[in-house]
Structure 1
Amino acid sequence: MLQDRLYYQDPYRTSFTTTVTQHSVDEFGRPFAVLENTAFYPTGGGQPHDTGHIADIAVVDVEEVDGEIRHYLENPLTAGGTISAEIDWSRRFDHMQQHTGQHILTAAFVELFNYPTVSFHLGRELVTIDLATEHVSNDELRAAESLANAIILENRLIEQKWVTQDELSAYSLRKQVSVDEEIRLVIIPNFDTNGCGGTHPSSTGQIGSLKIISTEKQKKNTRIHFVCGNRVLRQLGVVHDELTNVARLLSAPLGQAADATQKLLDAQHSLEKQLEAVNEQLLDVEASALAGRKTTVIRRVYSGRSMQELQKLARKTLALREQAIVILVSEDGEKLQFVASRTNSLTPDMRTISAIALPAIEGKGGGSASTVQGGGTRTMPAEDLAELLERSIPVHA
């Protein structure tokens, strides 16, 4: 029976002796052992498996397969009969803290806002729940976190009961249970009753604390990232180290890092505006030089110019001429980009030259009768592409 398993009888038990009933390999060649009874929790219900050692061989995974618990081992087990085993307590207790914290936070969102949890994941660094709502406000997050921590600090006893289907009606369940037999309830009195097969501490105070880290949209749900217990301290340490490094880079006290960062961002924004103005002036000068050429077709090749710059330079150049066609090409590594544009006083359909040039560079592009642009692979030198574009003009004005 499930309730006879050692991890249910005493989730604080870390070592035990038992009998090996089977040792074999699965279809993937992974060695495993089956024990007469076990304190190793198998992956299930959103909670990861325990790790530890059996007869000094590392347990790397624990799964329930067809009703038997397989302990997957780093190396094959050769011993038979009675053996000693020990679980990794720090991992087990961490999972107990995170899983019970999830029960409490889930219940807090239901209690305060009627937002049910539709999924739960206990990860290596963070824990997540998905709430059945598209938006959770900051005020709601703070309220749920505050209620959860209040329940934790009250150090309420956590009851774990095995009941039958007939006995379920006596309990107010947060959601319907998914099994018909050997139903296990985890109860936080006057707050939450939930069917669960995970391991939990004996009181809420052992969770320590709970902290919501972030949220994200997940289809029509909202995913809440949070941590409990010792993970809160680890997260605090990470954040403190990062802020300390930021403050050092800014030559500012830790408490003034945000103000110093804002000043730096303001200065950067101001410099970007100045640089943009200078670039505009340089483009004006460059356009003036191009427009001064005594040819109808103005052709120029560049290196490392963006499409936006090419388009802007073409517009500025044509604005200074009554009749002209501008062909600008830029090469950047193994890529080519071009812009070809004309004044409205001329008639060539620039899409004609684009249709010839794009296949030659295995590229894509678009535009109108007066202006086209595109990009592709550097199948030829940039100057050759510029010449091809000019030769493809159907009529020179």
Structure 2
Amino acid sequence: MQTIRLFKENVYKKEAEAVITSLSWQEGKFILTLDQTIFFPEGGGQTCDLGTIAGFEVSDVSEHDGDIYHTVIVPKEKESEAKAVLCEGSCVKLVLDWARRFDNMQRHCGEHILTGIFFREWGGINRGFHMGQDYMTIDISLEEGAKAESITWEMCLEAERLANEVVTQDMPIITRHFDSFKEADKQPMRKKLTIKEDITLVGIGSPDYDWGCAACCGTHPSSTAQVGLIKIFKLESNKGMYRIYFEAGRRAFDKYQQQFEILNTLCNTLSAGTDDVLEKFRISREKDKEMRSQLHFLKKEVIAREAASIIAEVEQLSSPHSVCERRYSILTLDDLVTLSREISPAIKKIYFLVHEPTHTVLLVSDGNTDCGRLVKENASIYNGKGGGNKTMARAIFTKEEYVNTFMDLIEKHLR
């Protein structure tokens, strides 16, 4: 006998009693069927209900061949108790996780409303629906007979406004069940039926509104007002269709709050109001761009002068094969890499460029002294790591003293 779906009769039923009709034990969990259930199984893009059976946690609900299977988690210390209570033929209490159920009801109904608006206004057909943890998506296809050639962001904003009008009008959600395809197919609806039997049609406002009617096995509230809010966040092209990211219900409100906090922080940072924050942000970006350009020019000038100074220093050495060093704290490590490229051809032996904040030393040469080999063979002695090529290599250490002892060691090797 197939499981009786109590959620089809009353979507607001939060508790019930049921008889276990079959069960199997796997390590740490029971998988069981019931004569009737309040738990909706995953399907139609909607996640399954959760809750408890006889006080034990329900972790998954799925449907196979007309039966609904409930996975019940049993802690090891309660295995004996569970096996005494969960037996074939025993009567058990079912308790629904109502917060999760109502969240799914708001989201799924919000999808129906938004999809219906795209159909009513532009003839768009929903060819894909995903109810994710962070957002929902619908894939709208503009097919033969559509009233638009493309979907724009402006159309999404209009669809959002119209969808929320449907919410505030508190239209009834009408759920009807049909045994046969022939009977169900006579009803006005926005999408052709693909189910052949045991068909549920969910309509918005009136059975005569084709835009609001579609086959659906999910759970929905009794009126649109219970959806609360619908908000679109993003539009993108996807496989010849238009993917719309959105949320509904409490999640849409939570998203609004989160984004308002971001906007409020941005306004306070820029000393702006919501009416001029974009302009002040644009001005701030322009100033930042100008400062970055000036910084780049100044760094380029500093590196060029530093390179000239080092080359002049090397040329004045009594021995061109002497080992020299310079230490830096203001220039970045990337700046020192750029500097090393400028001076490399002039360095006959080794020149050390030390970046003090990161305890990093760059070895620079014209290639006759293999910098990469020196780092590879000696850095690990002082718990260092790094590498490079013949003309430039870096060694990174955890302490400044390791930098100094490493350079002393290299200098001794090169005498």
TM-score of the superposition, structure 2-length normalised? 0.69
Does residue 191 of structure 2 align to residue 184 of structure 1?
no
Counterpart of 1:34 in structure 2: which amino acid? T
* Residue in structure 1 matched with residue 16 of structure 2 by the alignment: 16
Matches within 5 A, 1:317-328: none
Cα offsets for 1:108-138 (capped at 9, x unmatched): 2333344433322223342222344897422
Partner of 1:152: 167
Contact 1:314 1:328 in 2 (8 A): no
Q: Answer with 283-292 or 195-204: which moved more.
A: 283-292
CA contact (8 A) 1:305 1:331 kept: no
One-letter amino acid of the structure 2 residue matched with residue 59 of structure 1: V
1:112 equivalent in alignment to 2:121: yes
Give identity over the alignment, percent: 27
Residue 291 of structure 1: how far off its partner (Å): 4.2
Q: Tell me, yes or no, if the aligned pair for 2:364 and 2:393 is still in contact at 8 Å.
A: no
Give the counterpart letter for 1:231 in structure 2.
R
Alignment correspondent of 1:214: 234
Match in the other structure for 2:223:
203
Letter in 1 for 2:260: H
**Structure-1 residue corresponding to 2:31:** 32
Q: Residues 3 and 36 of structure 2 are in contact (CA less than 8 Å); yes or no, is this contact kept in structure 1? A: no
Amino acid in the other structure paired with 2:106: Q
2:315 corresponds in structure 1 to 294
> How many Å apart are 1:145 and its aligned residue?
1.3
Is the counterpart of residue 6 in structure 1 residue 21 in structure 2?
A: no
Distance in 2 separating the partners of 1:254 and 1:298: 63
CA contact (8 A) 1:2 1:182 kept: no
Question: What are the ranges of 5 or more consecutive residues in structure 2 without an aligned counterpart?
Answer: 75-81, 143-148, 378-384, 397-402
Q: Is 1:274 equivalent to 2:273 in the alignment? A: no
Match of 2:45 in 1: 46
1:210 counterpart letter in structure 2: I
- Find out whether 1:121 has 2:130 as its counterpart: yes
**Structure 1 residues 126-135 or 236-245, which shifts more?**
126-135
8 Å CA contact 1:208, 1:229 repeated in 2: yes
Within 5 Å, which residues of 2 pair with 1:193-272?
Answer: 193-216=213-236, 218=238, 221-250=241-270, 257-258=277-278, 260-272=280-292
Counterparts of 1:312 and 1:136, CA distance in 2: 52
> Which residue number corresponds to residue 183 of structure 2?
167
**Residues 275 and 108 from structure 1, CA distance in 2 versus in 1: closer, same or farther, beyond 3 angstroms?**
same
* Partners of 1:329 and 1:337 within 8 A in 2: yes
**Partner SS state of residue 61, structure 2:** strand
Cα deviation digits, residues 267-306 of structure 1 (max 9, x gap):
4333323322221220221232244343999998888866
Letter in 1 for 2:45: G
Q: Number of residues paired by the alignment?
A: 368
User: Which stretch shows the higher mean deviation, 39-48 or 159-168?
Assistant: 159-168
RMSD: 4.4
| Unaligned residue ranges in structure 1 (runs of 5+) | 342-349, 366-371, 388-397
2:159 partner letter: A
Q: Distance in 2 between matches of 1:271 and 1:116?
A: 50
